[in-house]
Structure 1
Amino acid sequence: MLAFFLATLAARPAHADWHVAETAHFIVYANASEAALRRTGERLEKFDKALRVSRGILEPSLGKAGRLTVYFVGNKDRLAALAGTPKVAGFYIPRAGASVAFVAGGLSEDGPLALGSQQVLQHEYAHHFMATTWPDAAFPSWVSEGWAEFHATASFDRDGNLQFGAAPLYRAHGLQAGHPLPIQQILAGAAGRLRADQRDALYGRGWALVHYLSFEPSRKGQLSAYLDAITKQRKSPEAAAAAFGDLDALNKELERFLRQPRISGFRIRAENLAVPPVTIRPLRPGEAAILPVRIRMDAGVDEKTAPGIFADAKAIAARFADDPEVQRVLAEAAYDAGDYTAALAAADRAIAADPKLVEAYCSRALAQMAIAEAAKNDTAEGWAEIRRTIERAGRLDPEDPRPLILLYRSYADRRQWPPEAARKGLLHAYALAPQDRGLRMQVAGMLIGENKLTEARAMLLVLTYDPHASGAGAAASRMIDRIDAQIRALASTPKS
């Protein structure tokens, strides 16, 4: 599968080449012309601007690590090779300092009839936007997917206005077939292992509910009350659904809504969508050569795939010993494969070629930590040197969460309680990257260690409703059970 992906990704259509576009919120890689990629970058920036304008959300100041990296990987077979499943049109991985989305197809715009690259990318970015804008809110799966679908169909008209609210007609079956997943089950937070028809109903009916509850005057405030009941009042989704009153009546209203000949939405005018210029450049030969390896690594590496990826990275890196990006990728691939000496050497070559490459310092620190642990080198001098590497990375970009996480890990992984500066750094890393589920779990664990049980519980609650959290959601539920037991025990302890 990996060999197939690498081979097909390397194939280039005529009159195109790999370019990267950098905008305020995105870094986009595509095998496309500069003009096509510029249009895509501008469209994505305007989409983000419209999300903020429509909700009165202030523009954040993002460094490179805060932007979403997007790969247009070509056809669906290549995407399936990355995802490990054929039943996917695109996917998003939230990571601190390295969130990434993968999309199949070209850069052309599609209408709501088709599930094209534009719809997929807008859906995935809506998830990213929710996670980074409202990190403390618990969204049941129908709200999360319905909100993402609501924004997936946004489209520009001839005058540059952006229209929201169109029905996702590619979800026609899910919109019309309510029986596989009744409204009571949807509002109770249906998630987990759903059949294909149930998942389609969740997406389609989720869109319809979000749309109807947002715009129907008689239902004003009910969706907010439902979410507040879950997040602030700690109610179950079943209990919170009381905010909607008679659910059978709501379902009948929803059926009438879906039978309307025309479904309205709202429009953001072009003059409100001014965005900064998009920067485009072709990839250097080394960057282009290593890109297939980088894409595969960014999609996720495990024990089975790591050796093959490392072998491919070594073969390419031998031709581009002075390219910082090539050597940085090699360092990460070597680390994943367990060759920490090679990882350290590659990181040093990357730093020599580009002393401002934060990722290279992070790879260097990881390799140093692994070498020290393998050699049982627990000297203060050795770990002081490791932390100097981490501090260099942090000075290069104080708004990159990865050095802050590494500093905390340099204590916690050795079963040492991190000092206050490292704990504050981890909290700042979370503020920079609340979308990272692993980081959220780590911060919650730290808060439990500080006996801040209520704060830890609130952070974990979000994961229990995240339809994409899988194992993290289950682990968060178990931690909440232990927190609740501890809170009850403290409440029942007689005061002296």
Structure 2
Amino acid sequence: MMRFWMKALVGLALALGGMGTAHAAWWQAQTRHFTVYSEGNDEKLRGFAERLEKFDFLLRRLTGVATPEAGSPVKVYLLSSEAKVKALARNPNIAGYYTTSERTAYAFLSRGGKDSKFDMGAEEVLFHEYTHHFMLHHFPAAYPTWYVEGFAEFFSVVKFPKDGSIQFAHVPMARVPGLVLGQPYPLKQLFARDTEGLSLRDGDRYYGTAWLLTHYYFQQKNARTAEMTRYLRDLAGGVPDIQPDRYFDGGLDALEKDLKAYMRHRLNISVLTPKEMVIGEIAISPVDPAQGALLEDELRLIHRPPAEELPGIATTIRTEAAQYPGSAYAQALLAEAEWAVEQKEAALAAADRAIAIDPQSARAYAVRANVLLERAQDSDAEGDWKAALTSIVRANRADTEDPVPLALFYRYHAMRGGKMPDLGYDGLYKAFTLLPQNPNYRFNMAQAMAFRGEYEAASILLDPIAFSPHGSGMRDAALKMKAQYEARGEKKAAAKPGVGPAGNPAPAS
């Protein structure tokens, strides 16, 4: 079974005005791939952190990813109530949330369980979203929406028996009503569309059918497996004019008939035993009092608050930070808050206080660099440019795995104009590789490649955004940029003597 997984997936590589008291007792669990913050009992925290690491191991084992993760661990915040989660997400229907800031990937959810087996619990949401995170990090490509979501749904429901094993390929019960009562979503429509504009009922059918087809693909070993692998590999590889009907014996109608027959049978689950898992150390410790007092305020600040909420957040952080004048963390966070509300001199002063306390405060140096870059742009004085560059270099030396100083280094050279040095491209590339889930770094890297005339690579880099399952302005922009880069690439190829534009090979039959 494990050999099949690795063979089947080898082609993937181608490719809150106030959130409550700020003084709750916070603990943290540090693992290889996660930093988990929790309000409350450390034993519950340890169990949750262990489940996260087991889940990460499951994904790596089944996809053949053996390389260590680059960059910072994903930060996960276990909040004391669902009300806090909904307020922070600004959505009353949210049980958990995953996204990225400019510095890290993070998620937040509540410590409580779900009310019914037909609900989608917070952990299921986290596992679903972390699977997206994992796929985007290791297998970024233009996969179809149904597969992106089906892949995440397949791994969203896992169980952790007392024997230490991990069970996966369970039925996501939250999708059962739509899948069984409403019938599977028609495959021709599933293959042809994304999730945008679906009603709640059709959304459940769509996600449920995507899960079922992925389950069929992963848990069976037959001719359909080879057909699906070839289809996904060609799609990820950019084969043009793909017609799904041509990939499956009897077309999508025959595949749909097989899928419905598969649904009527008892579906198998799979198990990884404790002997197969290597989890690593889990270190539990209390959170520093200053960080504990400001942690939820930091979440509010980084979670893209509306402009009208920023002054209130900054005011709260000022009040809290004043109680911890000796904390570099508090002063660096205050500097970020002041910068967010365009209080530049106050931001610089807070950053300097943080650096005086901790000369290795990368976050403080990054704020200092932002202020000085803006000052240098206004004055164009060599001394101001030099001061900004010095802060960027010191930020990078303080934390070589922080993408922010690396991106600032590229921005510094872009602002100064002239030919971008190779070191500037290298810095942006490392920032992107540390956090490829962040769409801004992906956009910037694509633009940098285009500036260098690498139009095909720039276009491919945009695929995960351009073919995202969910509509957005960013997806529209990525599609537009892809079209521009592809046109420029064709023009560049046509301009070479004796070389014409590439043809469109027919898809494999």
**1:34 equivalenced with 2:42 (yes/no):** yes
Unmatched 5+ stretches in structure 1: none
Alpha-carbon distance, 1:25 to partner: 0.5
The farther-off stretch of 464-473 and 477-486 is 464-473
Partner SS state of residue 171, structure 2: coil
Distance 2:115 2:48 in 1: 12
Using a 3 Å threshold, how does the CA distance of structure 1 residues 383 and 432 change in structure 2: closer, same or farther?
Answer: same
2:11 pairs with 1:6? no
Task: Between 447-456 and 69-78, report the one with greater CA deviation.
Answer: 69-78
**Any idea what SS the aligned residue of 2:28 has?**
strand
State the distance in 2 between where 1:163 and 1:274 align.
16
In the TM superposition, 1:151-162 aligns within 5 A as 151-162=155-166
Structure 1 residue 33 displacement after superposition: 0.8
**In the TM superposition, what is the alpha-carbon distance from 1:280 to its structure 2 partner?**
1.5
Q: Give 1:349's aligned amino acid.
A: R
Query: How many matched pairs?
Result: 481
What's the TM-score once normalised by structure 2's chain length? 0.88
Using the aligned pairs only, state the percent identity.
Answer: 33
User: Does 2:348 match 1:344?
Assistant: yes
Cα deviations by residue, 1:13-61 (Å, 9 ceiling, x for unpaired): xxxx211111111011111211111111111111111221223211415
SS of the residue aligned with 1:87? coil
Verify: 1:130 aligned to 2:132, yes or no.
Answer: no
Cα displacement (A) at 1:348:
1.6
Unaligned runs of 5+ in 2: 1-15, 499-509
Partner amino acid for 1:90?
G
Q: Structure 1 415/239 Cα, relative in aligned 2: closer, same or farther at 3 Å?
A: farther
Q: Residue 84 of structure 1: which of 82, 90, 104 is its match?
A: 90
**Structure 1 residue 451: Cα displacement:** 0.5
Mapped partners of 2:183, 2:342: distance in 1: 50
Which letter maps to 1:229?
D
Structure 2 residue aligned with 1:372: 376
The within-5 A match list for 1:42-53 is 42-53=50-61
- Name the SS for the 1:422 alignment partner: helix
Q: Is 1:233 aligned with 2:235?
A: no
Contact 1:120 1:152 in 2 (8 A): yes
RMSD: 2.3
Residue aligning to 2:486: 484
Q: Are residues 1:222 and 2:212 paired? A: no
CA distance in 1, matches of 2:22, 2:102: 28
Tell me whether 1:270 sits opposite 2:278 in the alignment: no
Amino acid at match of 1:422: G
Residues 75, 140 of structure 1: alpha-carbon distance in 2 compared, 3 angstrom cutoff:
farther
Amino acid at match of 1:72: L
Question: For residues 134-153 of structure 1, what are the structure 2 equivalents within 5 Å?
Answer: 134-135=139-140, 137-153=141-157
1:437/1:469 contact within 8 Å kept = no
The corresponding residue for 2:422 is 420
From 381, 384, 398, give the equivalent of 1:382. Answer: 384
AA at the equivalent of 2:196: G
Distance in 2 of aligned mates of 1:61 and 1:79: 28
Cα distance, 1:181 vs. partner? 4.4
Separation in 1, partners of 2:322, 2:306:
24
Q: 2: CA distance between counterparts of 1:341 and 1:354?
A: 20
Deviation at 1:177, TM superposition (A): 5.3
Match of 2:66 in 1: 58
Q: Is the 8 A contact 2:332 2:350 kept in 1?
A: yes
Q: Secondary structure at 2:129's aligned position in 1?
A: helix
When normalised by structure 1's length, the TM-score is 0.91
Query: Residue in 1 aligned with 2:81?
Result: 75
Q: Which residue of 2 aligns with 1:94?
A: 100
CA distance in 1, matches of 2:29, 2:310: 28
Q: What is the CA distance between 1:200 and its match in structure 2?
A: 1.9
User: How many angstroms apart in 1 are the aligned matches of 2:302 and 2:181?
Assistant: 37
Q: Secondary structure at the match of 1:156?
A: coil
- Cα distance change of structure 1 residues 251 and 491 upon mapping to structure 2, 3 Å threshold: same
Q: Does 1:257 align with 2:265?
A: no
Look up the SS of the partner of 1:435 in the other structure: coil
